[in-house]
Amino acid sequence: MQNENELGDYLRARRAAVAPVDIGLPDGGPRRVPGLRRDEVALLAGMSTDYYIRLEQGRERHPSEQVLRAIAGTLRLDDAATAHLFRLGLSVVGTAAAAATVAPELLRLMDGMRDVPAFVVGAAQDVLAANAMARELYRGFDRYDNLLRMIFLDPFARDFYGDWDQAARIAVGNLRASSSQFPQDERIERVVGELSVRSPAFTGLWARYEVRPRTHEDKHFRHPQVGELRLHFESLAVTSAPGQHVSFYSAEPGSATADALVLLGCLSEREAASTEQTNPLVEGEFRS
């Protein structure tokens, strides 16, 4: 996943994503390459074309904060994308390692949540823990283990997600954000490596280099048993465990989805009762 000119790769990908009309330049008709030309970025950022070319080619390794901020403005980078540009351009070292173990207190909190799906994911989007409602929500997948693998490698995802393209794009942008925070994380590298080999769709989205941490959004699911679900998603960082986020889904009160969540809860309770009969929990063990 790491290379010798990641800054150049990032600049080229983000430059290709900006249309000339987006920044007030006249539409000159078809271009040989998508997005802005290097001389246009240089002009708008207030630097020489030669200097910008050396940045993209990796021959200039020490840009100033002023230069990076000018480029970020020209390429219309948001806060997360700008922060990633600064990490690359200023050689800022990210967090050394992401946490892989979920605290017992958090497990206990989620286990007590009976009305909403809740789960914890790690930096590589591995599902580290989930309550009964979350497991029931994702029951149609072959494995409920890694959100990226589920989206790109499990055929059920195409039916489950109301807008698969959007779900895939958001998931990849979120993984990019994690890889920016944890550039040496071996688990992230393994996930990227596997998906790059097995999923052309992932490879194409990864090459776009969109850095977008997922914090909240509205989701549309098609559950095989309870039907359509339109849920609001919130993701909260676990400050005591770097890289971990606890995620919750909720429904608008009185909506059809709220009724569907009640049915989903009944199904999860039935499944939990069946599991307890075949494999009783010992005292103090969490259902997660």
In this predicted structure, which of 19-33, 122-136, 184-198, 268-282 has the lowest mean pLDDT?
268-282
Q: Which residue has the higher pLDDT, 273 or 187?
A: 187
- The string of DSSP letters for the chain reads ---TTHHHHHHHHHHHT--GGGGT----S--SSSS--HHHHHHHHTS-HHHHHHHHHTS-----HHHHHHHHHHTT--HHHHHHHHHHHTT----S----S--HHHHHHHHT--SS-EEEE-TT-BEEEE-HHHHHHTTTSS--SBHHHHHHH-THHHHHBTTHHHHHHHHHHHHHHHHHH-TT-HHHHHHHHHHHHH-HHHHHHHTT-------EEEEEEEETTTEEEEEEEEEEE-TTSTT-EEEEEE--TTSHHHHHHHHHHHHHHHHHHHHHHHSPPPTT----
First vs last Cα of the chain: how many Å apart?
Answer: 31
> How many angstroms separate the CA atoms of 194 and 6, rounded?
20
Q: How confident is the model at residue 3 (pLDDT cuts 50, 70, 90)?
A: low
- At residue 279, does pLDDT exceed 50? no
Average pLDDT across the chain, whole number = 89
> How many angstroms separate the CA atoms of 104 and 32, rounded?
56
Residue 2: predicted pLDDT: 54
- At residue 286, does pLDDT exceed 80? no
In this predicted structure, which of 95-99, 124-128, 159-163 has the lowest mean pLDDT?
95-99
37-75 pLDDT tens trace: 999 999 999 999 999 999 999 999 889 999 999 999 999
73-97 pLDDT tens trace: 999 999 999 999 998 998 766 666 7
Q: What are phi and psi of 138, to 5 degrees?
A: -100, 20
User: How many other C-beta atoms lie within 10 A of the C-beta of residue 264?
Assistant: 26
- At residue 1, does pLDDT exceed 90? no
Residue 77: predicted pLDDT: 94
209-256 pLDDT tens trace: 999 999 999 999 999 999 999 999 999 999 899 999 999 999 999 999
- At residue 151, does pLDDT exceed 50? yes
- At residue 116, does pLDDT exceed 50? yes
98-113 pLDDT tens trace: 888 999 999 998 888 8
* Domains of the chain (ranges, CATH numbers): 6-89 (1.10.260.40), 104-278 (3.30.450.180)
- pTM reported for the whole predicted model: 0.83
Residue 31: predicted pLDDT: 76
